Each structure stands twice: as C-alpha cells, then as structure tokens.
C-alpha cells in the first residue's frame, strides 16, 4: 500500500499516473496547499520542503515503512520497486533519467513560473519582464520536446516515467500561452498520452478537491505565494 500525500496539481498527477499505470494499490491523503496544510508538522516530517507530493510506502525495504519526497525521486523509487517504466539496461535507464531530470530542472520550474506570472501575479504591479522571460523559456522548452519527439513515440524511447513527469506540465498549456499546433510532434504525443485510460483516471483523482479560485482568494494567495514561512506546530 502506498499512502500518497496529494493535491491535484501537475506534480501530484505525476504520481497518480504512475500508480494507475502500474496497478499499484494506493490511498490518497489530501494536503490542501491553499489552506497551508503542507506546513503541518506531521507533513514536514515526510516532506521537509513542504511540497506535495510525498509518499509513505507501508512495505518499504525490509518490510519497514519508508517515506519519499520530491516527485522525481518518488517516480524513480516506484519504478525500481515495481520493475516498471524504467529500462533495466544501463543505456536505456540513463536515457530515462536524463529526461526525468530535464523535467525536474527545467520544465516544472519554468512552466510553473510562467503560469504564476500569467495567472496569479498582482494586477497592480508591472510584471511584464518576468512574464515575458518565463513565457519565452516555456516556448523554448516546448521546442526542445517537439524536436525530441520528431522521430520517436515517447520522450525517452519506450513509455516511461519521463513521459509521466513531463505530461502533467503540458496539460495547462493554454494557461501557459502556448499554441499546441505550433508543436506538431509534441501535440501528437500529448494527444496520445491524454487518451491513455490510466492517465485519464489519474487526472480525475481528487478533482473535486480543487474548487478554489486562487486569484480571488487573498488568504490562499498569501499561503501559497507570500514571503512568510508558515508552520503548523
């Protein structure tokens, strides 16, 4: 049993996609990031960086419970535990890990900042420079992925955790100011991913939880984006 500490965001979807694809039994533990539940002391013991997702594997190494934080580390752990979605040969495994790190180091941070400045930046401040900066970098990264997918079905050869990591961050492409038709190879891959039954189930997990309009909710905005470090003791 995997306990998944979760909120329906791109990083959370990465893990539900894996669990649904692999057929692993799991239980959702909601962590309402708009209410600051990610700063609760119990959660910080599992995820010291106060970010979702995190997991507790009740049957970890040696049969003892094990907690894992950071979505990329979780994907690697689950892939190695189940023997699925990462190749066993050294070259294939390295290929997957490289593109997983590409998502962790570039796609997630840049798309996330783009989304923030386009959707959540204060309307009374001039954010044109950061908005343009992250928009341009997002488009560059879409171009990298489009070229990568020009001659292959999936990001790292066969279907893998690299695809599971990248795809959720392309789901809100319209909010990122991206025209998918400008990236035909990526669009083909995107549509294929979207049609996978396990991916559809994964994106539906907890969708009823995310009803809040963060733009209009000042308290939620302060929890998510304020300078103050929240901690629940």
Domains observed in the chain: 2-84+202-225 (3.40.30.10), 90-195 (1.20.1050.10)
pLDDT band at 20 (very low <50, low <70, confident <90, very high): very high
Whole-prediction pTM = 0.92
* 57-100: pLDDT as tens digits: 999 999 999 999 999 999 999 999 999 999 999 999 999 999 99
pLDDT tens for residues 194-207? 999 999 999 999 98
Q: What is the mean pLDDT of residues 31-38?
A: 93
| Percent of the residues in the chain that have a pLDDT greater than 70, as a whole number | 90
Summary mean pLDDT of the chain: 92
Range with the poorest average pLDDT among 84-88, 118-122, 162-166: 118-122
pLDDT at 233: 40
* Tally of CB atoms within 10 A around 229: 7
Is the pLDDT assigned to residue 125 strictly greater than 60? yes
User: Which of 153-167, 174-188, 216-230 shows the lowest mean pLDDT across its residues?
Assistant: 216-230
Q: Are 141 and 173 contacting, i.e. CB atoms less than 8 angstroms apart?
A: no
């Amino acid at each position: 049993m995997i306990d998944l500490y979760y909120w329906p965001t791109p990083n959370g979807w990465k893990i539900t996609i894996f669990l649904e694809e692999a057929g692993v039994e799991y239980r959702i533990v909601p962590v309402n990031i708009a209410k600051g539940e990610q700063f609760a002391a119990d959660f910080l013991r599992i995820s010291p960086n106060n970010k979702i997702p995190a997991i507790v594997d009740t049957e970890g190494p040696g049969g003892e419970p094990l907690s894992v934080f950071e979505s990329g580390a979780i994907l690697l752990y689950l892939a190695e535990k189940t023997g699925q979605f990462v190749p066993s040969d050294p070259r294939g495994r390295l290929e997957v890990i490289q593109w997983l790190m590409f998502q962790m180091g570039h796609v997630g941070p840049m798309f996330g900042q783009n989304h923030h400045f386009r959707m959540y930046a204060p309307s009374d401040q001039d954010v044109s420079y950061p908005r343009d900066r992250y928009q341009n970098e997002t488009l560059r990264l879409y171009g990298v992925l489009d070229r990568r997918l020009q001659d292959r079905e999936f990001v790292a050869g066969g279907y893998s955790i690299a695809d599971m990591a990248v795809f959720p961050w392309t789901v809100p492409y319209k909010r990122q100011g991206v025209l998918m038709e400008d990236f035909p190879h990526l669009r083909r891959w995107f549509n294929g991913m979207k049609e996978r039954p396990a991916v559809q189930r994964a994106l539906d997990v907890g969708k009823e939880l995310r009803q809040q309009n963060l733009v209009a909710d000042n308290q939620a905005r302060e929890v998510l984006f304020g300078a103050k470090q929240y901690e629940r003791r």
